[in-house]
Amino acid sequence: MGDRLFDRQRTVHEILGGGLVADVILWKQKNVTLGILMVTFAAWVVFEGSGYTLLSLVSSVLLLLFAILFLWAKSAAVLNRPAPPLPELYLSEETVNEVAAFVRTHVNDLLSVSHDIALGKDSRLFFKVAVLLWLISFIGGFTDFLTLGYTSLVIVLTVPALYERYEDCIDKCVIMSYRKLRELYVKFDVKIVSKVWKWILEKKKLS
């Protein structure tokens, strides 16, 4: 193991894609990142405090919006005032095709991976997916989906940024800890595991 975790050569920003998403996660666009955190926190407070679900809240907001626009348009027609300044709502065929191609590619990748796992072609991937699903199920037993989603967003917007800021210190500590654990494992293997394995082989020979 080198001086960096996983012997990586790229920066954290490059690993995250190097674009706008990486800038937001690493707080290089502070206003955008802070805005996302504030909006999601406000939404979490609204959902948790009011007892609204996502569907009921969206429906209520849309109902209020349409009622305001409808009354505005009707009163504008009666009073000879300008109508509500609404932009033209239209999806171009090109936009729809791009979204469809993006969704199709990722869904096909997911289906391909699922197919390989179901047929036992990739044992390592199966165990990774199984552990991930078990963790999600375990954590989900302690909290609801909304709180889990908000917590995950906070982690995504804080941990990478903190790591990038203190990566030299973190890498040094993790690598030293890894080397210590490896030394302990070697000693454990020599003193205990090898002796137990030798004892088992001797028992088999005697039997």
How far is it, in rounded angstroms, from Cα 152 to Cα 170? 21
Q: What is the mean pLDDT of the chain?
A: 81
Answer with the residue of higher pLDDT: 165 or 194. 165
Tell me how far apart the alpha carbons of residues 64 and 53 are, in angstroms, rounded to a whole number: 17
pLDDT at 94: 85
Strand spans (E) along the chain? none
Structure letter (DSSP) for residue 17: T
What's residue 121's pLDDT? 76
166 within 8 A of 172, measured Cβ to Cβ: no
pLDDT at 201: 72
Cα–Cα distance, 145 to 190 (Å, whole number): 46
- For residue 16 the two structure tokens come to 């995250």
Which amino acid would we find at residue 24?
Answer: V
Residue pair 126/120 in contact (Cβ under 8 Å)? The answer is yes
Does 35 have pLDDT greater than 80? yes
Using DSSP's 3-state secondary structure scheme, residue 183 falls into helix
Q: Where along the chain do its domains lie? A: 5-105+147-206
Q: Does the reported pTM lie above 0.85?
A: no
- Other C-beta atoms within 10 Å of 127: how many? 11
Residue 33 scores a pLDDT above 80: yes
Residue whose tokens read 């001086």: 3
Average pLDDT over residues 127-152: 80
pLDDT value at 2 more than 60: no
DSSP letter (8 states) at residue 83: P
Cβ atoms of residues 74 and 85 within 8 Å: no
Instruction: Report how far residue 204's alpha carbon sits from residue 153's, in angstroms, rounded to the nearest whole number.
Output: 54
